[in-house]
Amino acid sequence: MARPARIARKGKGWHPEEIKAAIRMRGKTMSELSIANGYHESALRQVLRKPWPAIERLVADFLGVDPQEIWPDRYGPDGMPNRPLFGRVKFIPNAHVRQRKNSRAA
């Protein structure tokens, strides 16, 4: 599938409405994508406002781009998140690992 059209924003990455529209263009809503991957229905909405590397990777994989393309201000040149993790599990860009408190039976 072709990449969605982009609104030009210098160095800021994608606008939240662009992200939502790109997900809808692929046939899902943000809530459906969250639930399908074992997260609460509002998890994807959270990433539009604040960093969450696991959800950023999930959105990027679904859209077929790198998280650095969508959120360049959240990542360093090495592809790693440019924020401290403070004891959380280390984010590995090529291995998407989700942590969740409540697992849902399929």
Q: Which residues contact 87 (CB under 8 A, 6 or more apart)?
A: none
**Domain residue ranges of the chain, discontinuous segments joined by +:** 16-74
Query: pLDDT for 92-106, tens place per residue?
Result: 555 554 544 445 554
Amino acid at 7: I
Quick one: average pLDDT of 10-32? 91
CATH number of 16-74: 1.10.260.40
Q: Please, what's the b/e burial string for 65-94 (b: 16 or more CB within 10 A of its CB; e: otherwise)?
A: ebbbebbbebbeeeeebeeeeeeeeebebe
Query: pLDDT for 46-104, tens place per residue?
Result: 999 989 989 999 999 999 999 999 999 888 888 888 876 555 555 555 555 454 444 55
pTM of the predicted model, to two decimals? Answer: 0.68
